[in-house]
Amino acid sequence: MKNDCSYIGCKQDFIDAKEKVTGKAKYLDDMNFPGMLYAKILRSPHPHARILSIDVSKAEGLSGVKAVITAKDCPTNKFGMEIDDVTMLAIDKVRYVGDEIAAVAADSEEAAEEAIKLIDVKYELLDVVDDVEKAMLPESALVHENIKSNIVKEYHISRGNVDEDFSKCDYVFESEFSTHRVSGCYMEPFGAVVKWEENGRLTIWTGLQSVFQGRNEIAKALGIEPSKVTVKSPYIGGAFGAKIWIRNFHPIVAVLAKKADAPVKYVLTREEEMLTTRPRVAPKIKIKLGMMKDGTLVCKESKIIADNGAYSWAAPKVLLNMSIRTDCLYRFKSTKTDSYLVYTNLIPTSGFRGYGNSQMHFALESFIDTCARRIGLDPVDVKIKNAIRQGDCTLHGWKVRSCGLAECLEKAREYIEEDRLPKEGQNGRIRRGIGVACMNHVSGNRGGDKFDGSSAMIRIHEDGKVFVFSGESDMGQGAKTVFAQIAAEVLGVSISDITVMPLDTDVSPFGLGTYSSRVTTVGGKAVYLAAEKVKKQIMEFASKILGKSEDKLYIKNGNIVFTEDESVNITLKKLCQEGIRTREAIPFTVYETYDPPTEGADANFYGDYSSAYTYGAHGVEVEVDTLTGQVKVLRVIAAHDVGKVINKNGVEGQINGGVAQGIGWTLYENMVFQDGKPLSNSLKNYILMTIKDMPEIKSVIVETNDPIGPFGAKGIGEPTLIPTAPAIANAIEDAIGVRIKDLPITSEKVFWAIKEKEEGDRQ
Amino acid sequence: MKNDCSYIGCKQDFIDAKEKVTGKAKYLDDMNFPGMLYAKILRSPHPHARILSIDVSKAEGLSGVKAVITAKDCPTNKFGMEIDDVTMLAIDKVRYVGDEIAAVAADSEEAAEEAIKLIDVKYELLDVVDDVEKAMLPESALVHENIKSNIVKEYHISRGNVDEDFSKCDYVFESEFSTHRVSGCYMEPFGAVVKWEENGRLTIWTGLQSVFQGRNEIAKALGIEPSKVTVKSPYIGGAFGAKIWIRNFHPIVAVLAKKADAPVKYVLTREEEMLTTRPRVAPKIKIKLGMMKDGTLVCKESKIIADNGAYSWAAPKVLLNMSIRTDCLYRFKSTKTDSYLVYTNLIPTSGFRGYGNSQMHFALESFIDTCARRIGLDPVDVKIKNAIRQGDCTLHGWKVRSCGLAECLEKAREYIEEDRLPKEGQNGRIRRGIGVACMNHVSGNRGGDKFDGSSAMIRIHEDGKVFVFSGESDMGQGAKTVFAQIAAEVLGVSISDITVMPLDTDVSPFGLGTYSSRVTTVGGKAVYLAAEKVKKQIMEFASKILGKSEDKLYIKNGNIVFTEDESVNITLKKLCQEGIRTREAIPFTVYETYDPPTEGADANFYGDYSSAYTYGAHGVEVEVDTLTGQVKVLRVIAAHDVGKVINKNGVEGQINGGVAQGIGWTLYENMVFQDGKPLSNSLKNYILMTIKDMPEIKSVIVETNDPIGPFGAKGIGEPTLIPTAPAIANAIEDAIGVRIKDLPITSEKVFWAIKEKEEGDRQ
């Protein structure tokens, strides 16, 4: 039992660590019901084709098959996130390789798999739209005929007068960058177990990041009332944004379960994950930067064309983030962005850790580095000079209540320089370099005038044990542990006395879910306030029972003590028994809703919409093999302004994971397509980083004590991945003098860039 | 959808009727888990024996057997209700036929059954204690050696000076009555499915009337913290008091599940139900009554010796009720009761619908009838003359805030006389008679200074649908429907928009459970208050959204309307979406605890401990076959003061069921023992009433609008059974002039009483 020491800022083991490491924790695929069936989905092998006919008769005749469905068996409601362009199963047309056509429930996975193969679909192949710029041309084939254009969304956002400002700059630079599709590759494939209850309600177990959002989307797809759907979340083995929203399979499995009149399980294979997991939005970014001789960053203009894929999920929001956030990293005088999101016949993209901010940071943080070098300034000096500071209001209206950006840049540079390896290899085959890049991000992101808060319920049982209910998911990042720490700290009890309850939309208080790095800040604050509220009830009742005034009482180790005489005390357990079993009837159950004191953005996307803005900088040292072009990351310094550490283990875990995923994105991972067909459909042909590739990572935690977050904390989920790619690109330029502007930075690209530079040098 | 008409007082179909009548409702035995095992329990064949040895080796060796346990595998914590005299499995001694000795979990019921037979137990038989009066003698064998006496509990309660009062009475009568053991015989046998969760928590599905009480008792038996146990309740197929407390099998199955490391199901066979279901406490009652010539009831003295059986559950409380409640039926000047509860080697008795009050009413309501006849007065006139009235404070301190006793008596007499059959058969073989008896009871019963309230949580979802959470069980009586009606009425929404959530101790608000006819009054009031509270939030928010003052708004059919212009309105659904999704962030989730404004009884059992006292009277017409002694109930008038009807279907259902069970208790049912061994161990040798024996029942509902209960309602669960037995006995005396004073009133007893009377008449 923890004693005097505070739970805030300590290295707290995750409260569910034991179940997880002993293999006892129940993930979705561990769930089974008597009579449960297994589902499989027939997916399109073509990127773009008209469906001429579907014959399911052979599949239906197969032994063990209990239900076969096509679009004819499903509600035709279109659904989606901002744009409803999705149907549960394909009607008339398929739009990407992996698009859902039919589904089977059978009493074994094998029978379901076999039945899928027996479904006979006749197609008429259509022109494949797989290039965003061509897709924007009027003569392009249309992915969605009813929409009459492949442009899903466009933004035109300007602040100040960039044209005037560019005309006054000492330097104006322009360049183009691009980033690519990568897959979430979380350990646990997505899936659902679905059961229709005897009272007509639908229960669905699935590892969604946002259970309430999911409940509403499933209900919408099925055409039923949201409160008829219960979403329950088992343990989740990673998500990274790809499990925020439902997939088609959620309502598909519900329709199968209804038709088969039995519970149905569906878990994606890794191949299906590769084919259908919402990957990172892939943009082409033109960027123009206006600077003064002294390094002042004056203005910035961007044009972004991003590939949405075949259906629209979070990509419009991702594009919006790309169009705004990096403008708030520095004290620009003016900015202007024109951005376009385009349908193609590729896998639908969506939000992935960083949510657009990572892509745009790659462009800007690479480009400033290049520009600074070109005018003979130290890139990091330029960044520090221009960095947003506490008290600033950015061009887009962000009110910066706490900011460790400059400090993170300084620390990243200091530590990456301090231990850098000898440069002696510099003129041989192997060359070394260091690079630094910084980032900003949000902790929650209010959409318009919408709620951006969270709710928490705390219940204290008769034995003094505390149950915490939140509507926010723990997808493995440790949210439950953070909530338990906050409740333990506020209530003055041992963390072992706290149980954080599993998610269940019937019971869990309303929350928006785990995205925008909002859970600690917003969900944690709701828990904090609920704990404060129940503590007040506890202290009031203890005051009555002990006959001492409240301000003379404190709780420590689950014991309420009179300050002036420690022998006058009562344990929380005893008090709860008194409270629940006596006439006082204190419920010791509280419900608290918190919505941060921020504004939603206005129609022009201006506003202070996040409760806390986060900052960080990575310093990277790389080694480049000039013969092969292979890049190896040797060391990473990851300095992050987290406001205040709640769980040091959690923060370091996020940093380690974010850096690893950032390096993977930069150097290794890539979803490759040929004529719209995915070539990367397994972990054999999609390269994930392994432990052998991992560099040494030094976490540098900067605490700025945010005035809003609980105990001063800010989000750290996404930030840790954002500056890695540009820091690596900057280090490569430092090492070999070439600039790679399109991700991933493969050996081939580096090799040819070196060759090109050598050609140039020779000329 | 219900429109203008109120939900209160209507004939509302039970909200779960459809699931139940279509067989879809999931009862305990419908629950199955993959890998689930089946438990069987080895029970003592002897009423009293020392266990010399238990050999489980053969059982353990049987194929399919996964765990065998004896007392050695179990915590030795004694548990129980007021007196902890129970161990999970027998240690050293068995104390009744059915006492638990060992248990097996196996992969089939058959294997478990077979294994039970292979357990070899050696016994040394001990003297059987099966007569309460002999058991009280010092020389009796002891059921519990450590307690040194077979007297479990005794009460000596007196008000006023009975000796003085008897000396002044015109008449003093004395007599003796007795009632017998009967079994609950609910449709669904008791049982549990038990599962240890991966985080060390225990989940137990079981149809308990009191889930929180059960949770605490199971935890106590297992020696773990209550909050580590989750009790969930599936549908319950009847209980009648026998499922208020846990049985030994609850912790036994938990120990088996732990040892076998698998979920385990245990459902009692009907024979086990007969052997181990807590039957009604069987007392011998000496009663002495002092009356004046004008029929004034002056004083009453009683001596009760009641059979507790082998272990103590609710029998001490049942005895207490016997010792008090009927004193509050009439305006006695003084009363005195000496009562004793005695251990025997028979099945443990406990609380059963009426909870002691039915037994004592049989004695008193029979006896007053006899006494009135003896002094030439009309028994009903005597009862009405002496009846407690609104505004009275009884001898034991009950403050009678509403009372329809006299009215019930009048109506019962009026209607039973009005339609009575021709008396012509009166001197032939078949004779007819009518009888009336009345009753009182409580709606909740505060123990000492303890909480006697209930809590409710109401949550309104984003689609405007209402979820009601209560900690009180619906054991089939329709509590869920009553809660839904109350919430619908207060909130002004359709009952179809309300879901009453299943019981789950992790989530359901704290409640004491379903006993003492308290659920509508106390649980319903908590729902009422929670609904009022959430309605206030709704109206406040609607006022803000509509820009109209709250007092000018009302809700009807789920729509909030401006009184002055009905076109100004907003649906609850729209409001909830506004509330949850906008910055207002209204939680629309409330938690309310209600504890009625009553006092607990003091150490001398004096106090106003129930929120509402209920009254009723039954008029009965019988036909007696003087040749065989067979009694047939022809008609029953059941007049009950329910305060205010919430659900007319529910009230009439309670009346029909209570009368049926009352007739069964009076005429048919009887648990017979021989040398401590039960002869009635199945429904073949234990006679339940069938539909063919059912008389016509006329329900007469008297509404007295109790000032405390929700909408004025009082409890009706138990009262309906209480006056039936004495009304039948009174009708028999009316028909044939004989008085049967010991239940059941079998044909044999009537036959011999007739013979005896004829002998007397001839002398």
User: What would the 3-class secondary structure string for A557-598 be?
Assistant: CCEEEECCEEEEEEEHHHHHHHHHHECCCCCCEEEEEECCCC
Q: Which residue of A has its CA nearest to B27?
A: A198
A600-622 pLDDT, tens digit each: 899 999 999 999 999 999 999 99
B7-33 pLDDT, tens digit each: 999 999 999 999 999 999 999 999 999
Interface probe for A, chosen from B463, B493, B494 (most Cβ of A below 10 Å), is B463
* Distance (Å, whole) CA B286 – CA B277: 28
Average pLDDT, chain B: 95
Model confidence at B655, pLDDT cuts 50, 70, 90, reads: very high
Model confidence at B422, pLDDT cuts 50, 70, 90, reads: confident
* Distance (Å, whole) CA B467 – CA B459: 5
Q: CB-CB: which of B199, B226, B449 is closest to A461?
A: B226
Compute the residue count for chain B. Answer: 763
From A728's Cα to the closest Cα of chain B, the distance in A is 41
Q: What is the spatial order of strands in the sheet that B430-442 belongs to?
A: B430-442, B613-625, B631-641, B696-702
Per DSSP bridges, beta strands B297-309 and B282-291 are: antiparallel
* Distance (Å, whole) CA A47 – CA B705: 72
A513-557 pLDDT, tens digit each: 999 999 999 999 999 999 999 999 999 999 999 999 999 999 999
Q: Which residue of B has its CA nearest to A31?
A: B34
Interface A-B, measured as beta-carbon pairs within 8 A, has a size of 120
Closest CA to B494 of B570, B560, B575, B557: B557
User: Would an 8 Å CB–CB cutoff place A103 in contact with chain B?
Assistant: no
Provide the token pair at A326: 């990096």
| pLDDT for the residue B138 | 94
Q: Are A613 and A409 in contact (CB under 8 A)?
A: no
Check A226 against B507: CB less than 8 A apart.
no
Rounded to 5°, the CA angle A681-A686-A692 comes to 150
B463-506 pLDDT, tens digit each: 999 999 999 999 999 999 999 999 999 999 999 999 999 999 99
Which of A420-429, B474-483, B515-524, B689-698 comes out lowest in average pLDDT?
A420-429
* Distance (Å, whole) CA A619 – CA A636: 6
Average pLDDT, chain A: 95
Model confidence at B2, pLDDT cuts 50, 70, 90, reads: very low
Provide the token pair at B481: 């429907």
A395-442 pLDDT, tens digit each: 999 999 999 999 999 999 999 999 898 776 656 899 999 999 999 999
Model confidence at A587, pLDDT cuts 50, 70, 90, reads: confident
Share of chain A above pLDDT 90, in %: 92
Which of A1-5, A251-255, A479-483, B248-252 comes out lowest in average pLDDT?
A1-5
* Distance (Å, whole) CA A717 – CA A233: 20
Check B199 against A19: CB less than 8 A apart.
yes
Model confidence at B76, pLDDT cuts 50, 70, 90, reads: confident
Rounded to 5°, the CA angle A559-A560-A563 comes to 120
Check B465 against A506: CB less than 8 A apart.
no
A190-209 residues touching B, CB cutoff 8 A: 198-199, 201
* Distance (Å, whole) CA B218 – CA B233: 14
| pLDDT for the residue A643 | 97
| pLDDT for the residue A3 | 38
Does residue A202 register a pLDDT over 80? yes
| pLDDT for the residue A384 | 98
The one-character DSSP state at B329 is T
Model confidence at A665, pLDDT cuts 50, 70, 90, reads: very high
Check A587 against B455: CB less than 8 A apart.
yes
Q: What are phi and psi of A326, to 5 degrees?
A: -65, -20
Check B581 against A16: CB less than 8 A apart.
no
Q: Are A193 and A205 in contact (CB under 8 A)?
A: yes
Rounded to an integer, the average pLDDT of B582-600 is: 85
**Alpha carbon of B14 to those of A759, B24, B486: distances in Å?**
86, 15, 13
Q: CB-CB: which of B461, B589, B595 is closest to A591?
A: B589
* Distance (Å, whole) CA B26 – CA B193: 13
Closest CA to A243 of A322, A351, A151, A373: A351
From A446's Cα to the closest Cα of chain B, the distance in A is 10
Rounded to 5°, the CA angle A365-A371-A373 comes to 105
State the DSSP string of B728-743: HHHHHHHHHS----BS
Check B463 against A227: CB less than 8 A apart.
yes
Provide the token pair at B464: 């405007």
B634-651 pLDDT, tens digit each: 999 999 999 999 999 999
Q: Are B263 and B295 in contact (CB under 8 A)?
A: no
Closest CA to B499 of B468, B470, B478: B468
Alpha helices in B131-199 (DSSP H): 132-135, 162-168
| pLDDT for the residue B1 | 35
Check B587 against A593: CB less than 8 A apart.
yes
User: Would an 8 Å CB–CB cutoff place A19 in contact with chain B?
Assistant: yes
Provide the token pair at B450: 């303890």
A501-530 residues touching B, CB cutoff 8 A: 501, 506-507, 509-510
Does residue B147 register a pLDDT over 50? yes
The one-character DSSP state at A647 is B
Does residue B282 register a pLDDT over 90? yes
Contacts of B457 in chain A (CB under 8 A): 589
Element (H or E) spanning B407, and its range?
helix B405-418
Check A462 against B19: CB less than 8 A apart.
no
Other Cβ atoms within 10 Å of A364 Cβ, number = 26
Q: CB-CB: which of B18, B34, B465 is closest to A225?
A: B465
Q: Are A483 and A468 in contact (CB under 8 A)?
A: yes
| pLDDT for the residue A425 | 66
Model confidence at A2, pLDDT cuts 50, 70, 90, reads: very low
B569-628 residues touching A, CB cutoff 8 A: 580-583, 585-587, 589-595, 600
Contacts of A585 in chain B (CB under 8 A): 451, 453, 593-595
From B597's Cα to the closest Cα of chain A, the distance in A is 9
Q: Are B637 and B416 in contact (CB under 8 A)?
A: yes
From A285's Cα to the closest Cα of chain B, the distance in A is 34
Q: Are A230 and A203 in contact (CB under 8 A)?
A: yes
* Distance (Å, whole) CA B195 – CA B263: 4
Interface probe for B, chosen from A24, A26, A33, A227 (most Cβ of B below 10 Å), is A227
Q: Are B28 and B187 in contact (CB under 8 A)?
A: no
Q: Are A263 and A35 in contact (CB under 8 A)?
A: yes
Check B463 against A226: CB less than 8 A apart.
yes
Contacts of B449 in chain A (CB under 8 A): 582-583
Q: How far is CA A609 from the centre of its chain?
A: 18
**Alpha carbon of A335 to those of A162, A303, A321, B256: distances in Å?**
6, 11, 14, 70
Rounded to an integer, the average pLDDT of A228-241 is: 96
Does residue B3 register a pLDDT over 70? no
Q: CB-CB: which of A212, A585, A600 is closest to B451?
A: A585
Contacts of B18 in chain A (CB under 8 A): 199
User: Would an 8 Å CB–CB cutoff place A24 in contact with chain B?
Assistant: yes
B257-316 residues touching A, CB cutoff 8 A: none
A125-146 pLDDT, tens digit each: 999 999 999 999 999 999 999 9
State the DSSP string of B560-627: EEETTEEEEEEEHHHHHHHHHHBTT----EEEEEE--S-----TTS-S---S-EEEEEEEEEEEEETT
Other Cβ atoms within 10 Å of A763 Cβ, number = 5
Q: Which residue of B has its CA nearest to A580?
A: B451
Model confidence at A4, pLDDT cuts 50, 70, 90, reads: very low
Contacts of B212 in chain A (CB under 8 A): 462
At A544, is the secondary structure helix, strand, or coil?
Answer: helix
Secondary structure, 3-state, B457-520: EEEECCCCCEEEEECCCCCCCCHHHHHHHHHHHHHCCCHHHEEECCCECCCCCCECCCCCCCHH
B400-418 pLDDT, tens digit each: 999 999 999 999 999 999 9
Check B198 against A19: CB less than 8 A apart.
yes
* Distance (Å, whole) CA B349 – CA B346: 9
Check A507 against B507: CB less than 8 A apart.
yes
Which of B51-60, B274-283, B441-450, B633-642 comes out lowest in average pLDDT?
B441-450
Does residue B714 register a pLDDT over 80? yes
From A595's Cα to the closest Cα of chain B, the distance in A is 7
Contacts of B591 in chain A (CB under 8 A): 587, 589-591
Q: Are B440 and B365 in contact (CB under 8 A)?
A: no
* Distance (Å, whole) CA A542 – CA A554: 10
From A517's Cα to the closest Cα of chain B, the distance in A is 19
Does residue A578 register a pLDDT over 90? no
